[in-house]
Amino acid sequence: MRRLVCVLVTALSLSPLAQTAAQTAASAVSGATGMPMQPPPPASMDHSNDVHAFVPLWPNGAPGAVGKGEEDTPAVSIYLPPANPTGTLIVVAPGGGYQHLAMDHEGLQVAQWLNAHGIAAVVLRYRLGPTYHYPIELHDAQRAIRFARSHAAEWGVQPNQIGMWGFSAGGHLASTAGTHYDNGIARVADGIDRQSARPDFLILAYPVISFQPGILHSGSKKYLLGDSPDPALVDLLSNERQVTPQTPPSFLFHTADDPVVPVANSIVFFEALQKNKVPAELHIFRHGPHGVGLAQANPELSGWPDLLYHWMHENGLAQ
């Protein structure tokens, strides 16, 4: 039996995503009473034969790029399901401590899982340290959200149902996008930049949230902010301190004994969401390593995507 140490849920209206509240998932066990039935995962979940190409977010070169290589070219890989009944799309940000990207199990496999559930996905390849520091990574994430929103009609997506899902340091990037955004840059020639950069909801899997002593992941801080960042910048990018009532509704997953990113990261963000009356759901499993992705091979953790699917279903984001 999968072991769940606690489930914390705020039962507030999720408008405009849905008019009803997110409901507490009663159990971490797949198939628990009240959980919607999911389609089975695709047989090729290992994604070894994936042929989706990456599309540059800035065709003529990204602002601030120091070269023209792949590492200098933020891009997205687009995954559209045969049918998308809810019109939902998720920008997926793999983790890797802001120095590499776990592109397979925290990116491409996730996109395939979403497509199997009738949800569109855009996997983000963002720029990394030590070559690139903040705000470059945030600009890449914002551009991906704007890019998806600009193609909403073409892809059969609702422009107000575009979320962001981040893992580990990608969770920090997603939470940064959800707490540091604009509603579009007016009076620019680039129509993509006129789109809102606010994600409509967040999914945060074992995320880095804070750069405060005692709970920070030092590698993510170093590669995002450099060796000696201004303390004001450290506070600015400790995203639990940036939550407002306008922060998007959020789903969080973590393990209590995560040896890399302390579970306190998810807890402080959840507490800030509750303080600001933002709908949120947090699931903490008792045991588990860091970086598990969808955890399909881990019998103790493999139920966490079921809980996510339940939350999305309850809020009109999945059928």
At 163 the pLDDT is 98
Burial of 107 (0-12, 13-18, 19+ CB in 10 A): buried
pLDDT band per the 50, 70, 90 thresholds, residue 268:
very high
Question: Is the pTM higher than 0.85?
Answer: yes
Over range 242-257, report the average pLDDT.
98
Distance of alpha carbon 312 from alpha carbon 152, whole angstroms: 19
pLDDT tens column, 111-121: 999 999 999 99
**Among 253, 246, 250, which residue's Cα sits nearest to residue 182?**
246
At 237 the pLDDT is 98
Averaged pLDDT score across all residues of the chain: 88
pLDDT tens column, 71-106: 999 999 999 999 999 999 999 999 999 999 999 999
At 43 the pLDDT is 34
Distance of alpha carbon 294 from alpha carbon 43, whole angstroms: 15
Q: What kind of fold does domain 4-314 have according to CATH?
A: Rossmann fold (3.40.50)
- For residue 42, say if its preceding peptide bond is cis, omega within 30 degrees of 0: no
pLDDT band per the 50, 70, 90 thresholds, residue 273:
very high
> How far is C-alpha 190 from the geometric centre of its chain's CA atoms?
25
User: Are the C-beta atoms of residues 146 and 210 closer than 8 Å to each other?
Assistant: no
With vertex at residue 163, the alpha carbon angle to CA 275 and CA 300, rounded to the nearest 5 degrees, is: 80
CA separation, residue 209 to residues 27, 102, 174, 219, 222 (Å): 26, 18, 9, 13, 14
Over range 37-57, report the average pLDDT.
56
At 244 the pLDDT is 98
Least confident of 46-60, 132-146, 242-256: 46-60
pLDDT tens column, 300-315: 999 999 999 999 999 9
At 52 the pLDDT is 84
At 33 the pLDDT is 34
Over range 212-223, report the average pLDDT.
98
pLDDT tens column, 159-185: 999 999 999 999 999 999 999 999 999
48-55 CB contacts, 8 Å cutoff, 24+ apart: 50/108, 50/112, 52/77, 52/78, 52/79, 52/108, 52/111, 52/123, 53/77, 54/125
Instruction: Tell me which residue has tokens 């450099």.
Output: 226
Over range 266-286, report the average pLDDT.
98
Distance of alpha carbon 256 from alpha carbon 7, whole angstroms: 12
Residue 109 phi, psi (nearest 5): -65, -35
- For residue 130, say if its preceding peptide bond is cis, omega within 30 degrees of 0: yes
Secondary structure (3-state) at 315: coil
> Is the per-residue pLDDT at 48 higher than 60?
no
Least confident of 15-24, 64-73, 148-157, 219-228: 15-24
